[in-house]
Amino acid sequence: MPLEDPDAASRGRAASAPGGLRRRLVVNGDDFGLAPEVNRAIVRAHRDGILTSTSLMVAAPAAREAVELARAEPRLAVGLHLVLVQGRATLGQESLGGLVRPDGSFREQAILAGIAYFFRPALRAALRREVRAQLEAYRASGLALSHVDGHLNIHLHPFVQQVLADLTPEFGIPAVRLTRDPVLANLGYDPRHAARKMFEGLVFRVLSWIAERRFARLGVVSTDHLFGLHQTGACDEAYLAHLLRVLPPGDSELYCHPAEAQTTEMRRMMPGYAPAVELAALTSPSIRALVGELGIELVSYRELVASR
Please tell me the pTM assigned to this model.
Answer: 0.92
Identify the sign of the CA torsion 147, 111, 230, 283. Answer: positive
Helix (H) or strand (E) holding 10: helix 6-11
Looking at the domain assignment, is residue 1 inside a domain?
no
Domain that holds residue 165: 6-306
Q: Is residue 300 part of a domain?
A: yes
Task: Assign 265 a pLDDT band (cuts: 50, 70, 90).
Answer: confident
Question: Tens digit of pLDDT for each residue in 107-159?
Answer: 999 999 999 999 999 899 999 999 999 999 999 999 999 999 999 999 999 99
> Using one digit for the tens of pLDDT, what is the confidence trace for 31-53?
999 999 999 999 999 999 999 99
Query: Which H or E run includes 252?
Result: strand 250-256
Handedness of CA 90, 76, 236, 244 (dihedral sign): positive
In a domain, 105, yes or no: yes
pLDDT-derived band at 1, boundaries 50, 70, 90: very low
Find all residues with CB under 8 Å of 292, minimum gap 6, and list them.
Answer: 2, 3, 6, 9, 10, 15
Name the domain count of the chain. Answer: 1
Q: Give yes or no for residue 285 having a pLDDT over 90.
A: yes
Q: With 70 as the cut, is the pLDDT of residue 84 above it? A: yes
- The length of the chain in residues reads 308
| 297-299/53-56 β-pairing | unpaired
Residue 100 lies in a domain: yes
Residue 123 lies in a domain: yes
Does the residue 279 lie in any domain? yes
Tell me the torsion sign for CA atoms 95, 101, 106, 107: negative
Share of the chain above pLDDT 70, in %: 94
DSSP code per residue over 190-216: --TTHHHHHHHHHHHHHHHHHHHHHHH
**Residue 301, domain CATH:** 3.20.20.370
- Per-residue pLDDT band for 94 (boundaries 50, 70, 90) equals confident
Q: 27 lies in a domain?
A: yes
173 neighbors 82 (Cβ within 8 angstroms): no
C-alpha span between 263 and 269 (Å, rounded): 10
